[in-house]
Copies of this chain bind each other. A is one copy, B any other.
Amino acid sequence: MYDQLSNYIKKTIEVSDEDLSIIMSFFKPLRKNKNELLITPGQISQHTYFVIKGCLRIFFENLEGKEVTRYIAFEGQFATALIAYITKSPSTEYIQALENSEILYITHNDFNHLLEIVPNWRKFYINYLEKAYVSNANRVMSITTLDAVERYHELLKINPKIVSRLPRKIVSSYINVSQETLSRLKAKLDPQ
């Protein structure tokens, strides 16, 4: 299960075998059952997760308790409560396993330690931040410039797995419409 992660790292940065084994030694395995929460609002974020099998969802709630999904990490992707990690403040978000999941995690302390001892780990973190930034900036654009139908089409184009693999409730919380609106929309777009 470690191969998936080491391949990801080797694809992202130039790294010697020695540095790679130092990096890998800080990642530990973890299993989570479907629907289990890894962090809730108010908690201090302590881990960065890499999905081996299953998937993790990062979401938050509005004042009326409506869920908004910010990010979904499938196999081979990272997930963390990044705002909390950066600002060193309690999380405002949930991280949840949406399926029975196998995960590797690294503590923030060890992640920071790697930034100091493995020079190219900063390049890795830069790559991580760049991807996270682009993903979020595109969310701002699509939420403010596209209507529900266009957001659904965009999701089908950019991240079809979210629609094909996850329950309708998650899809609607991702494109920020009610489940009823999504059902009407799907009925219109994919007539049986």
A residues sitting closer than 8 Å to B (CB atoms) are: 60-63, 66, 68, 70, 82-83, 86-87, 92, 119, 122-123, 125-126, 129-130, 132-134, 136-141, 143-146, 150, 176
Contacts and interface: CB of A to CB of B under 8 A. Distances in A.
Given A126-B126, A129-B130, A132-B133, 6 more contacts: A82-B133, A83-B137, A129-B133, A136-B136, A136-B137, A140-B143
A62 B141 CA distance: 8
Q: How many copies does the complex hold?
A: 2
B176 A134 contact: no
Query: Chain B CB within 10 Å — which of A126, A132, A137, A176 has the most?
Result: A137
Contacts of A138: 83
A141 B63 contact: no
Contact of A145 (B62, B83, B125, B137): B62
Contacts of A122: 122-123, 126
Nearest to A150: B63
A140 B141 contact: no
